[in-house]
């Protein structure tokens, strides 16, 4: 369970989060939808204790993320890319992460199998393709077998096979009872994966509910999205 309550944050004197509140529940995939720069990544960074809000709270099963003694057993997070140092092998990266949270070394092999990277364990992260980096990021997130997954734009830039793999992975995770929160600006994709949707625009939550509720009278989630956000007013050349 993730509970975000009235988060506020400014950067360079611009308000980037305006009282952002929503919840993500266990057993469901919650899609966090918004145009680029709407505040998705900022919200997730506050949730993970990377950035500090001016006010408001972001709780993970009732407590701030940073107060959990072995946080990787509570939340697995992927924020764009693997975060592995380019000179390190996938295995070396996973090993230090496992050690930091007192996780058994055996988990490293297990998560590499899980994401299909067992054959590339000795390869340096700097030589990984985008898809492989994403998989390594997911492997890192799954090390502590956490009940909660947080992913920022997980399908961005992936090929169709990669997108399909992530989609199945996240659906399975939710079916196992995990709380899955993922951000995206790809509406079609999100409509396929998510149970619930939170729409954010200019740092403000403009809609929140099941996919059906947010879609409402509109033909698709995409139509609803354009009606709800400022994207409607933006003109693109034909």
Instruction: Enumerate binding residues for another protein (CB under 8 A).
Output: 45, 48-52, 65-66, 68, 71-72, 75, 77, 79-88, 92-93, 95-97, 99-102, 125-126, 130, 133, 140, 157
Q: To the nearest whole angstrom, how small is the minimum distance from the Cβ of residue 8 to another protein?
A: 14
Phi, psi (deg, nearest 5) at residue 140: -60, -45
Distance CA 114, CA 108 (A): 10
Strand, coil or helix: what is 194? Answer: coil
Q: To the nearest whole angstrom, how small is the minimum distance from the Cβ of residue 33 to another protein?
A: 21
| Radius of gyration of the chain, Cα coordinates, nearest whole angstrom | 18
Q: To the nearest whole angstrom, how small is the minimum distance from the Cβ of residue 128 to another protein?
A: 8
Contact between residue 174 and residue 27 where contact means Cβ atoms under 8 Å apart: yes
User: How is residue 70 written in tokens?
Assistant: 């072995």
Q: To the nearest whole angstrom, how small is the minimum distance from the Cβ of residue 141 to another protein?
A: 9
Distance CA 196, CA 198 (A): 7
Distance CA 99, CA 208 (A): 38
* Closer residue to another protein, CB minimum distance, 66 or 175: 66
Q: To the nearest whole angstrom, how small is the minimum distance from the Cβ of residue 69 to another protein?
A: 9
* Closer residue to another protein, CB minimum distance, 80 or 223: 80
Residue written as token pair 């396929």: 192
User: How is residue 172 written in tokens?
Assistant: 């399975």
* Closer residue to another protein, CB minimum distance, 124 or 171: 124
* Closer residue to another protein, CB minimum distance, 43 or 215: 43
Distance CA 97, CA 84 (A): 10
* Closer residue to another protein, CB minimum distance, 26 or 83: 83
Phi, psi (deg, nearest 5) at residue 37: 80, 10
* Closer residue to another protein, CB minimum distance, 88 or 171: 88
Q: To the nearest whole angstrom, how small is the minimum distance from the Cβ of residue 187 to another protein?
A: 22
């Amino acid at each position: 369970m993730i509970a975000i309550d009235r988060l506020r944050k400014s950067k360079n004197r611009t308000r980037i989060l305006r009282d952002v509140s929503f919840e993500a529940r266990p057993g469901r995939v919650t899609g966090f939808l918004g145009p680029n720069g709407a505040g998705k990544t900022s919200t997730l960074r506050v949730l993970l204790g990377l950035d500090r809000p001016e006010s408001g709270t972001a709780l993970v099963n009732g407590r701030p993320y940073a107060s959990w003694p072995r946080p990787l057993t509570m939340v697995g997070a992927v924020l764009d890319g693997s975060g592995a140092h380019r000179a390190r092998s996938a295995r070396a990266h996973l090993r230090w992460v496992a050690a930091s949270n007192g996780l058994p070394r055996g988990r490293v092999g297990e998560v590499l199998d899980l994401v299909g990277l067992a054959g590339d364990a000795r390869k340096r992260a700097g030589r990984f393709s985008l898809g492989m980096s994403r998989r390594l990021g997911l492997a890192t997130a799954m090390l502590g077998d956490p009940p909660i997954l947080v992913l920022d734009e997980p399908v961005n830039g992936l090929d169709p096979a990669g997108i399909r793999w992530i989609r199945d992975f996240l659906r399975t995770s939710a079916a196992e009872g995990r709380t899955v929160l993922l951000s995206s600006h790809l509406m079609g994709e999100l409509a396929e994966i998510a149970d619930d949707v939170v729409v954010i625009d200019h740092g403000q939550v403009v809609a929140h509910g099941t996919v059906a509720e947010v879609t409402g009278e509109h033909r698709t989630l995409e139509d609803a999205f354009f009606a709800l956000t400022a994207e409607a007013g933006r003109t693109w050349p034909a």
